[in-house]
Structure 1
Amino acid sequence: MNVKLLVSALLLSTVAVPALAEEPVFDPQAVRAHVTFLADDLLEGRDTGSKGYDIAANYVASQFIAMGLKPAAADGSFFQKLTVREARLDGAPKLALTYGGKETVLSDTAQVLVRPSLTDAKVAIDAPLVFAGFGFDRPDLGFNDYKGLDVKGKIVVVLTGFPKGTPSELGAHLNSDKAMMAMKRGAIGVISVPTIEDTARRPWDKRVTMFDGPAKGWVGADGKAFTRTTGIKGGATLNPDAAALLFAASGKSLDKIRSEANRTGGKPKGFAMKARASLSYAQTWKDVVSENVVAMLPGSDPAVAGEFIGMTAHLDHIGVHGKGEDMLHNGAMDNASGVATMLEVARAVAKEKPRRSVMFAALTGEEGGLIGSDYLARNPVVKGEVVGLVNFDMPVLTYMFSDVVAFGAENSTMGKVVAEAAKKAGIKLSPDPMPEEGLFTRSDHYRFVQQGVPAVFMMTGFEGPGEKAFRSFLKDHYHQPSDDLKLPFNWDAGALFAKVNYYTVMGLANGAERPQWYAGSFFGKEFAPGAAKAADPGK
């Protein structure tokens, strides 16, 4: 036997066949440990700009350090600092409606709700009213609510939501863009009236609770709060009961208009109202400093290391407020569970050498209007380009799930990666079970979508016990003090959620091609018109 030849052959075979990488093990108790710390009473609900939030931010940064990740902020730290403005009403707002030769003054929250302005210390507008249906000005998409209407210098009255039968993600986007569409038509104010569907989902008393708190937004280097709708000087939401007389004065029945809007495809037509409105209110401002906690893992392939896959989860919650014995909102599920699973995915990814670089971000100000994500998306910290993003927000971990939902999956090639990741984790990918909620536009990933970045936002699915558990959480615990550690957490579900997200992130980071919008995706065409597109599935 030639021993030298045998040894040489063995060595060559060792080089030719690399050792298989070990599958990561996700420890349920590690997820539990993160949630237990982040949802503790000592952090007082992690409100943006609070000491409790700062403690949580330092906790996340310490975890990034232990993983060996690199700080990504411009000053060489893990903290991207930003100024957040909190605006509160200074006294009761006043909405004076003039119709039928009489003036009706509304100021009670039972009739009218006003969000304070972030840009003007005092608001005072007086103008004629024009009803514009749902307020959609996109003839290219079949929405032409402003046809024949002159709203320049006027206040537009619109219904909340979007026409029934509209794809939920498209409708949610257009709904969030109403003020922008009104501004482009020359309007100076917007008054919203809830639809029948919206009222059923959010009765007026719940809407009052939602408005109880400051408006928030990030402040630029010039000291001015950022806004996309500089021309809209004021706005309000009007109780349908109070709005009925306003419509009647123009010879229109609000009940009939709302009933038409409640039918599939119903699009009430607009008209110039025989009325005008005077809206005035003042606010006080408080600016606080908060931070996004951002780290990165450099890619191993120089050809694509400048392409980043982003992982985001909001770290903030809504703090201490309200009435009753327990006013502390711990935010255990929203979003300590999301941060906890993101950290465990980050720990596993940090042990690998993915081709593309990965950015990890725990974000501030989500509850105030996706503030930290908007700031990060518009003020990038990585020296490269974020080409795809996975967002972790409020996975409901009270049951062992057998499917996941990935909002946005159908819009880009990321959907195929998520489906493969779910299969690898022993579960499946399901379609959106709550299209009426428009969830795709309501979490941090959407601010990156608006900058042209394909993204997915995953949640635990509705199969088996899922729907009952998820809807129960939304009904009884969402944004309530009871979202705390006394919930029946299933920590094994937390480990499984981390696993499917790990496979997703690694699939994107090691993929042959960067994520691409599908050619037929509205969001790809709207926000990344010049980007290369993938052929639509099945074509």
Structure 2
Amino acid sequence: MRLYPLIFLSLLLSCSSVKKTDAQAGSQLLKDVEVLSSDAYEGRKTGTKGGEKARVYIASRFKEIGLKTLPTFSGYEMPFTYTGKKGTAIEGKNMLAYVEGKSKNIIVISAHYDHIGIINNEIYNGADDNASGIATLLKLASHYTKNKPDHTLIFAAFDAEEAGLQGAKAFIKNPPVQLENIKLNINMDMVSHNDKGELYACGTFKYPQLKPSVFSKNSKVKIILGHDDPKLGSNDWTNQSDHSAFNDKDIPFIYFGVEDHKDYHKATDEFKNINPAFFTNASEAILEITQRLDHQLYLKSVINEKKTIN
């Protein structure tokens, strides 16, 4: 008879532990956005002290999570140079890390950390654009350091997206790994601010083989496929964020983002104006879909290898 109370107590403690872990993960997700979009980071414009401060924070989180540095680098930074509007050379720095998987095939999970800085003495903090993407990237990285993926995962926090996708282009131009080994790019740019609970997943128009994996069981967020048909003109998001550089090399991509809102590229894109509940659910859905894509693409590669051998 004493066994039942003990079992009941054990279950309560177990449930309490799970809830606590989930709460901590959600708290960290929001904390990462709040920190990166605070005034201290001065809008994280490429080549500024605010941008450097953002890199220090990202590096500290990479290290805390337990991410490895790529063999071709001594640290997490990948410096690159591009020409600015006035013809001056500007140095940017991507932040790269990885988790080794069962396969040498690679999925690049990306988000840009830069924003547009200070304009007319106003700080443009870029909470949704794109501290939210970086926070989600860190959430995914934390998950995969504890749960071995099928693919090797490169986590890429790109710089200079706002200057014309310069960080992603530099990554593709001078890749730290063989491009043919990159089987997918999952890119996140603005995933925390939507009043209707809608998160778009762009990319299945050109890469329909990905479509069966792009859905969520979370009823609190609506995953909508679209914004990827060239006939849509300016509503085609295929070239509007860092995934474009991968697509240019015919590397399949899924881009997660929300439609433009009233705070887009305004000083009001602040932490207090994101939708915390939506953001938490959206990040969970992105993780769920990433897990499914990782596993399904891996299974297909294994099947194809067996067919080749036979």
Counterpart selection for 1:425 from 218, 225, 228:
218
Partner of 2:27: 29
Against the structure 1 CA distance between its residues 73 and 363, is the aligned structure 2 distance closer, same or farther, given a 3 Å change threshold? farther
The number of residues matched between the two structures is 274
Give, in whole Å, the separation in 1 of the partners of 2:125 and 2:289: 29
Counterpart selection for 1:513 from 300, 303, 309:
300
Deviation at 1:383, TM superposition (A): 5.8
Give, in whole Å, the separation in 2 of the partners of 1:73 and 1:425: 37
Deviation at 1:395, TM superposition (A): 1.6
The reply to whether residue 390 of structure 1 matches residue 176 of structure 2 is no
CA contact (8 A) 1:341 1:497 kept: no
Which residues of structure 1 form unaligned runs of 5+? 1-21, 89-284, 461-469, 516-539
CA contact (8 A) 2:227 2:236 kept: no
CA contact (8 A) 1:508 1:514 kept: no
Give, in whole Å, the separation in 2 of the partners of 1:32 and 1:502: 16
Give, in whole Å, the separation in 1 of the partners of 2:129 and 2:266: 10
Partner of 1:319: 117
Partner of 1:500: 285
State which structure, 1 or 2, has the greater radius of gyration over its C-alpha atoms: 1
SS of corresponding position for 2:280 = helix
Give, in whole Å, the separation in 2 of the partners of 1:54 and 1:372: 15
Deviation at 1:428, TM superposition (A): 4.4
**What amino acid maps onto 1:452 in structure 2?**
D
SS of corresponding position for 1:410 = coil
The reply to whether residue 360 of structure 1 matches residue 155 of structure 2 is yes
Q: Pairwise CA RMSD of aligned residues?
A: 2.4
Give, in whole Å, the separation in 2 of the partners of 1:75 and 1:331: 29
Deviation at 1:82, TM superposition (A): 0.7
What are the residue-to-residue correspondences of 1:400-415 with 2, within 5 Å? 401=197, 403-412=198-207, 413-415=209-211
Give, in whole Å, the separation in 2 of the partners of 1:432 and 1:508: 18
What are the residue-to-residue correspondences of 1:136-535 with 2, within 5 Å? 285-299=87-101, 301=102, 305-321=103-119, 323=120, 326-382=121-177, 385-399=181-195, 401=197, 403-412=198-207, 413-419=209-215, 422=216, 424-426=217-219, 427-432=221-226, 435=232, 436-460=234-258, 470=259, 473=261, 476-487=262-273, 489-511=274-296, 512-514=299-301
CA contact (8 A) 2:227 2:237 kept: no
CA contact (8 A) 2:227 2:238 kept: no
Deviation at 1:491, TM superposition (A): 1.6
Deviation at 1:390, TM superposition (A): 0.6
**What amino acid maps onto 1:55 in structure 2?**
K
**What amino acid maps onto 2:263 in structure 1?**
H
SS of corresponding position for 2:277 = helix
Deviation at 1:367, TM superposition (A): 0.5
SS of corresponding position for 1:361 = strand
Partner of 2:53: 55
SS of corresponding position for 1:440 = coil
CA contact (8 A) 1:333 1:484 kept: yes
Deviation at 1:398, TM superposition (A): 4.7
Deviation at 1:425, TM superposition (A): 2.6
Structure 2 length as normaliser, TM-score?
0.81
Give, in whole Å, the separation in 1 of the partners of 2:240 and 2:278: 24
Deviation at 1:418, TM superposition (A): 1.3
CA contact (8 A) 1:296 1:360 kept: yes
Partner of 2:12: none
Partner of 2:36: 38
Give, in whole Å, the separation in 2 of the partners of 1:492 and 1:390: 22
CA contact (8 A) 2:202 2:227 kept: no
SS of corresponding position for 2:130 = helix
Partner of 2:62: 64
Against the structure 1 CA distance between its residues 514 and 442, is the aligned structure 2 distance closer, same or farther, given a 3 Å change threshold? farther
Give, in whole Å, the separation in 2 of the partners of 1:428 and 1:478: 21
Against the structure 1 CA distance between its residues 438 and 383, is the aligned structure 2 distance closer, same or farther, given a 3 Å change threshold? closer
**What amino acid maps onto 1:455 in structure 2?**
F
Deviation at 1:75, TM superposition (A): 2.6
CA deviations 1:246-282 (Å, max 9, x no partner) are xxxxxxxxxxxxxxxxxxxxxxxxxxxxxxxxxxxxx
Give, in whole Å, the separation in 1 of the partners of 2:187 and 2:151: 18
Against the structure 1 CA distance between its residues 396 and 32, is the aligned structure 2 distance closer, same or farther, given a 3 Å change threshold? closer
**What amino acid maps onto 1:51 in structure 2?**
K
Percent identical across equivalent pairs? 27
CA deviations 1:96-139 (Å, max 9, x no partner) are xxxxxxxxxxxxxxxxxxxxxxxxxxxxxxxxxxxxxxxxxxxx
Give, in whole Å, the separation in 1 of the partners of 2:214 and 2:194: 22
Partner of 2:77: 79
CA contact (8 A) 1:349 1:502 kept: no
CA contact (8 A) 1:345 1:499 kept: no
CA contact (8 A) 2:128 2:192 kept: yes
CA contact (8 A) 1:400 1:492 kept: no
When you count strand as a share of all residues, which structure comes out higher? 1
Against the structure 1 CA distance between its residues 393 and 514, is the aligned structure 2 distance closer, same or farther, given a 3 Å change threshold? farther
Which residues of structure 2 form unaligned runs of 5+? 1-17, 303-310
Give, in whole Å, the separation in 2 of the partners of 1:87 and 1:397: 30
SS of corresponding position for 2:115 = coil
Against the structure 1 CA distance between its residues 428 and 36, is the aligned structure 2 distance closer, same or farther, given a 3 Å change threshold? closer
Structure 1 length as normaliser, TM-score?
0.48
**What amino acid maps onto 1:392 in structure 2?**
M
Deviation at 1:404, TM superposition (A): 2.8
Give, in whole Å, the separation in 2 of the partners of 1:366 and 1:433: 19
When you count helix as a share of all residues, which structure comes out higher? 2
CA deviations 1:271-294 (Å, max 9, x no partner) are xxxxxxxxxxxxxx3323221000
